[in-house]
Structure 1
């Protein structure tokens, strides 16, 4: 028998809150359809690619009298991509919805993500199994995977396996790439005259799957609060020991939403925002100088300690580093045979310097040796630099140290600088979901069932007005094609759901800009503490500060 902690047991018994419209008997919920929609951009191209599913209306669910008969159905569900707190509750909401409509309905979980679809590797999700995972973190009930569904052969196999199981619908729980796959699959099924529906759910702790109808992706709230607790603990330790500068790298490969949210919650001395760095065309040297200036000003007050937050993908947003990485990828790919026969590390570095353009050679030479090595040795199966493995925290700490040594020699700096590096990533992906994420995810799953019940396909489950209490949320769905544009992938233009980066004109970032100069030189740290599950609603049920600022609360 599995070991169960008191908190685990209590969370199993937590009853997620639903929007009022979804609290009705199933036969008293109706779908209200709006006007036709179009894609975010590249309308004509996307319309030609999605002839069967383009232009569908936005849907919202309201109280009313439904004339539908709820026959028993079979639904498949997959978890796709990296873990995010709340995934199990999406499945729970979906499970409860189909069972309340008809107890004879069945839910199948495909194991290991999309590969489970291809291999017909699945389990039936029963009440006993579901009850073991309600309100818990992780994706361990059916696991996840990153297999991409791209080829006609793959689509044929998925359709064949879905038919063997007699599925009525498939729910894809994932991020922008996974939901792009879902949109393509929905179109493919339609083109084959298959009635199997495809519904998506917005998942990613990075927070980059969002728009006016997807106000946040699930897992972002919990992950940001988990990291913020750790950052607050480190800030308190720094204030106590008064001798370390902590450089903290945070998850967020393409967008800096997590870094920004954690900064708003904890008030670090420096928080770098990748999108701002790119827009301002900041060099690596100017990024280093920004941090060093905070160190120097605080040292004048006798404060030789501090906290710096760094987005995981920062290095790719620094224009000169972005250019260097592009050149390295091309160089190592084009001359792989010549490069691979060099065994001595120093010779490899020397060879790289002799084959880069002059500007990139200078940038490469300015980097610490360990970073030079990471740029040429750690590569993915496609031959590209694995940016997430580059220790940006150590890179910046090392370069700030060099900057301060020079300032010390020139008599401009008399403080002490002892840096420590951290990376907070996996710590937040499978945490117990916050009450917000537990409620949000359950409602997303329940809404997915309603989209299926109303015969819709090619939609993503949506909840709006998330700054309000859960009872006031507006449930519905938007067409996946509405979120798309065309982007160049592997040399070809492909339809994809656009990633949402930090809006530099948005209220959360502008609020951050107004107060960060004070944070840089003062001890104004905030300590969010651990996520609370039981107590006053203002302590336990609130969403992120990003969401509050965006919604004018």
Structure 2
């Protein structure tokens, strides 16, 4: 296989480890901290996880390694959407296992959790691992979204582990995947299987974070990749001086990606879904907010600009959420078949008009027809609107165009408005990991091996103090149950890891809030450029603006 010069060079990059993990396996000791409790619903979570709840947080430090050095066989699973650095988690895990005992084995279950259920795996070797070091993607073993949540699945997983003599499973994934890891760990403990489960925090969305997990891996690389593209568009906008660019970025449940990209590039507009919800902003209010920027910039002779739109923002608009809820009800069960059988959009529109409340229909009417039709595209497995299919960047540019038309008729606006649209999503999920993500992910994997060696179960691999140089990072672990609460899912109470939304009183948002009015009118664009892998540390090892502001 032909490889690029950069790929060849990245194979040879040696990721940096936290100081206490650089001493050699024999000189890593464990320090136990305080017992933990879940972030909410303590009694319910404890009842569901009697064998793994309330365990102590732990930290690794320099000292004598008192763990047993027996031969171990470990399985690893990549779960959920791709995120830059996943290959390095596996590389770090592999290297630590081999450093602990050359006879240790690491096997990779293929295509996500289903690989464990189907007993489909590969045994890693030096040559195989070396082909994936410091590269993006999850193609080393593939990923999948199968959930491990039924007793039947757990029983099969236990049988597969017993068959191969597996001592531990490492699950690399986001909040849902690590919730599954916690449930599987509890099952193994309750049934005395002798199998440990360790999780690693992954998601480019940045919403798997809390007081212990400072950053999920992949967020750094993805936002730097998007910010490079946004910066390129800003430069183009400032050159052509005739287009407004509406850019949707990934992040359905939280706006961390949008906020980070805004901090890196200083666009004229960036919507924050959490603020939209907190202020109960309507579609009309949001459109007016953007139109104000367009009008003020036009008055300065600048008929161009850049607006960043979070992928899931429409779900946070109260009137739009109410509309979606009514549409879900309108098409429940057999009514969906009746609707789909109608041959023309005109007939479907009449069906909709007769089925929605006046309030919902008032919202529906102001939407462009393309967006109206997107609300009635194929439903998700639960019969709900697939909000991710809604082109919100086009929705808001259309609403802004209507606002500007009204203002032009009143004589308050005389500028030009030519919108262009972009969606940056998959472009960032498999990029070459930044040095930060390469180092962080390798450390997470190496650290996971130490948690296994010391016998921990139901723990998340934890690397903290991430805004400092890697030498000062702190390695350890925390019980996954500490991050959990009870949420209503599909009519049932379920234990889940709480998603972290953008905190409107947090330093990153406050910095954005203090500057956005100026950015809305002035051309204050910043051009981050491509991710740098070689050169001065202050250029190559930068953390995100979000992390830097949070740790000031």
**Corresponding residue number in structure 2 for 1:354:** 354
Matched, 1:25 2:38: no
Structure 1 residue 340, shift from structure 2 partner: 3.0
**Corresponding residue number in structure 1 for 2:408:** 408
| Structure 1 moving runs of 4+ over 4 Å | none
C-alpha root-mean-square deviation of aligned residues, in Å? 0.7
* 8 Å CA contact 1:85, 1:137 repeated in 2: yes
**What is the rounded CA distance, in whole Å, between the counterparts of 1:330 and 1:57 in structure 2?**
45
Q: Which moved more, 1:64-73 or 1:290-299?
A: 64-73
**Corresponding residue number in structure 1 for 2:467:** 467
1:392-431 to structure 2, matched below 5 A, reads 392-431=392-431
Matched, 1:500 2:496: no
Secondary structure in 1 matching 2:33: strand
Secondary structure in 2 matching 1:173: strand
Q: Which moved more, 1:510-519 or 1:332-341?
A: 332-341
**Corresponding residue number in structure 2 for 1:439:** 439
CA deviations on 1:342-370 (whole Å, 9 max, x unpaired) are 22222112211210111111101111100
Q: Which runs of 5+ in 1 are unaligned?
A: none
**What is the rounded CA distance, in whole Å, between the counterparts of 1:221 and 1:384 in structure 2?**
32
Matched, 1:244 2:228: no
**Corresponding residue number in structure 2 for 1:290:** 289
Structure 1 residue 66, shift from structure 2 partner: 1.9
Matched, 1:116 2:106: no
**What is the rounded CA distance, in whole Å, between the counterparts of 1:380 and 1:533 in structure 2?**
40
Structure 1 residue 68, shift from structure 2 partner: 2.7
**What is the rounded CA distance, in whole Å, between the counterparts of 2:489 and 2:410 in structure 1?**
49
Structure 1 residue 163, shift from structure 2 partner: 1.2
CA deviations on 1:477-527 (whole Å, 9 max, x unpaired) are 100000000000010000000000000000000000000000000010000
Structure 1 residue 67, shift from structure 2 partner: 2.6
1:1-12 to structure 2, matched below 5 A, reads 2-12=1-11
CA deviations on 1:86-124 (whole Å, 9 max, x unpaired) are 000000000000000000011000000011111011001
**What is the rounded CA distance, in whole Å, between the counterparts of 2:538 and 2:211 in structure 1?**
25
**Corresponding residue number in structure 2 for 1:539:** 539
1:139-218 to structure 2, matched below 5 A, reads 139-218=138-217
Q: Which moved more, 1:7-16 or 1:321-330?
A: 321-330
Aligned pair count reads: 551
CA deviations on 1:174-217 (whole Å, 9 max, x unpaired) are 00000000000000111111110000000000000001110000
**What is the rounded CA distance, in whole Å, between the counterparts of 1:224 and 1:113 in structure 2?**
25
**Corresponding residue number in structure 1 for 2:458:** 458
Structure 1 residue 341, shift from structure 2 partner: 2.5
Structure 1 residue 322, shift from structure 2 partner: 0.7
**What is the rounded CA distance, in whole Å, between the counterparts of 2:457 and 2:343 in structure 1?**
54
**Corresponding residue number in structure 1 for 2:53:** 54
Structure 1 residue 376, shift from structure 2 partner: 1.0
**What is the rounded CA distance, in whole Å, between the counterparts of 1:170 and 1:327 in structure 2?**
43
**What is the rounded CA distance, in whole Å, between the counterparts of 1:331 and 1:90 in structure 2?**
45
CA deviations on 1:62-90 (whole Å, 9 max, x unpaired) are 00012333111000000000000000000
**What is the rounded CA distance, in whole Å, between the counterparts of 1:410 and 1:449 in structure 2?**
67
Matched, 1:90 2:89: yes
**What is the rounded CA distance, in whole Å, between the counterparts of 2:378 and 2:261 in structure 1?**
29
* 8 Å CA contact 1:353, 1:364 repeated in 2: no
User: TM-score, normalization: structure 1?
Assistant: 0.99
Secondary structure in 1 matching 2:260: helix
Secondary structure in 2 matching 1:158: helix
* 8 Å CA contact 1:349, 1:372 repeated in 2: no
**Corresponding residue number in structure 1 for 2:274:** 275
Secondary structure in 1 matching 2:332: helix
**Corresponding residue number in structure 1 for 2:12:** 13
CA deviations on 1:312-334 (whole Å, 9 max, x unpaired) are 01010001001111111121114
**What is the rounded CA distance, in whole Å, between the counterparts of 1:433 and 1:298 in structure 2?**
37
* 8 Å CA contact 1:349, 1:373 repeated in 2: no
**What is the rounded CA distance, in whole Å, between the counterparts of 2:324 and 2:91 in structure 1?**
43
Secondary structure in 2 matching 1:377: coil
User: TM-score, normalization: structure 2?
Assistant: 0.99
**What is the rounded CA distance, in whole Å, between the counterparts of 1:108 and 1:346 in structure 2?**
56
Matched, 1:524 2:541: no
* 8 Å CA contact 2:109, 2:122 repeated in 1: yes
**Corresponding residue number in structure 2 for 1:331:** 330
Secondary structure in 1 matching 2:381: coil
**What is the rounded CA distance, in whole Å, between the counterparts of 1:76 and 1:537 in structure 2?**
35
Q: Which moved more, 1:156-165 or 1:483-492?
A: 156-165
**What is the rounded CA distance, in whole Å, between the counterparts of 1:303 and 1:353 in structure 2?**
41
Secondary structure in 2 matching 1:493: strand
**What is the rounded CA distance, in whole Å, between the counterparts of 1:515 and 1:378 in structure 2?**
40
CA deviations on 1:239-261 (whole Å, 9 max, x unpaired) are 00000000000000100000000
* 8 Å CA contact 2:68, 2:453 repeated in 1: no
Q: Which runs of 5+ in 2 are unaligned?
A: none
* 8 Å CA contact 2:68, 2:454 repeated in 1: no
**Corresponding residue number in structure 2 for 1:69:** 68
CA deviations on 1:432-475 (whole Å, 9 max, x unpaired) are 00000000000000000000000000000001110000010000
Structure 1 residue 165, shift from structure 2 partner: 1.3
